[in-house]
Structure 1
Amino acid sequence: MGMIGCFCALEDEDLEAIIHEPRRVHLLWDDSIPPRRQPSWLARLFGAKLHPETEVDSWQLSKPVSETDVDKAWHGIHFLLTGTDWEGEGPEAFIVHGGQEIAEEVGYGYPRGFTSQEVKEIDAVLSSMDAQNLYDNADPAEFAKYGIYPEVWKDEPKEECIGYVTEYFQQLQAFVSETAASNRAMIVYLG
């Protein structure tokens, strides 16, 4: 087990509907929307209202989603793209920053949605990068120094640890390219 970088391609209108009603994000993996959590007794004491029990949301995805994951290589890919552990901005930092937060906790935090236009910007950055060049310039000691997850950099030879990251980078590169070419939006989350 561990934190897995997950990516889901969907239609822009579906992303907008999920952002509008965050519980709908569960329809990406399940065929039901969980009921809205009722406010605690303390919240009700301070004025929070109970939600109607009969509330039903019949919304459905307009088209099936496509998904991929990069296993535990997500943080290493972020480090390769930005040169930072948790910083960065713009399309290079899309794995941990950017997009619009979806206010429904999934896995390890809140997923973030990127419109089809933002996916095209991410694709432009990723498609300009060469996995072999990223591999050649990567130093496992730097990954270890910054505590890049999953922290295997001291234990494994470069061929295995950095090779693992660049192999998943290529998979992500292909997924984002296909998503951009299909004019689809994308949701990113840690599962």
Structure 2
Amino acid sequence: MSFIANYMMLDDNTFDSLFSLDNDDLLEKVNELEEAGAELYCMDKLWDGLHFLLTGTTASTPVEGDELSEAIVGIEMFNEDDEEADFVASTEAGQLADIIVAMKEVDIERLAQSANFREFREKEIYPDIWYDEDAASLRQELVQEFNNLLAFYEKAEKQNANILVSIF
């Protein structure tokens, strides 16, 4: 089973309607929104690696108040009290500016070049792909995903859109 991260732009009404849903209804609604053509960015499987590169921790332990962590996993978790719930989180439109500023301060090229993929393996960063023989490709992919996510957030900010992050 593989876990992928999707980032979806939502208007205020749609976004607000999600907070009253339980886990099953929320997942159904997320799928409906995707099928209806909601603007979406799929990071695929590199979300945990990018989180680790930016923060030094796995995405399973987000860093509260750290805009770079929040860029990857969102700010507010849906159904946080439900241990069986899938990972769905949100970032409100008004919170995007700080995330964008923090992302723009990162020299992602330099950071990716300094990545120690042995450390990724030791920390069991998902997925199990962090091997030195693939280092150049992995570095390039991490940079690309970072830049794509930044562009997606900048577009969302211009549209005053909220972000829904789902990882499953």
Residue in 2 that maps onto 1:167: 144
Larger Rg: 1
Of the structure 1 ranges 91-100 and 64-73, higher mean CA displacement relative to structure 2 is found in: 91-100
Instruction: Please state whether the residue corresponding to 2:124 is helix, strand or coil.
Output: coil
Deviations 1:129-162 (A, max 9, x none): 2321221221112211211111211263310122
> What is the TM-score when the length of structure 1 is the normalising length?
0.71
Which residue is equivalent to 2:19? 19
Q: Which structure 2 residues correspond to residues 95-174 of structure 1 after superposition, within 5 A?
A: 95-96=72-73, 98-102=75-79, 109-154=86-131, 156-174=133-151
The number of equivalent residue pairs is 157
After superposing the two structures, state which structure 1 stretch, 5-14 or 69-78, moved more.
Answer: 5-14
Coordinate RMSD, CA, aligned: 2.5
In structure 2, what is the Cα distance between the partners aligned to 1:115 and 1:25? 19
Maintained 8 Å contact 2:74/2:164: no
Structure 1: tracts of 5 or more residues without a match? 32-60
1:93 aligns with 2:66: no
* 3-state SS, counterpart of residue 64 of structure 2: coil
Contact 1:80 1:138 in 2 (8 A): yes
Gaps of 5+ in 2: none
The answer for the alignment partner of 1:30 in structure 2 is: 32
Look up the SS of the partner of 1:8 in the other structure. Answer: strand
TM-score, structure 2 normalization: 0.80
Q: Given the superposition, is the C-alpha separation of residues 12 and 125 from structure 1 closer, same or farther in structure 2, using an over 3 Å criterion?
A: farther
Q: Could you say which residue in structure 1 is the equivalent of 2:9?
A: 9
- Residue identity (%): 24
Higher helix share: 2
- Rounded to whole Å, the distance in 2 between the matches of 1:25 and 1:139 is 35
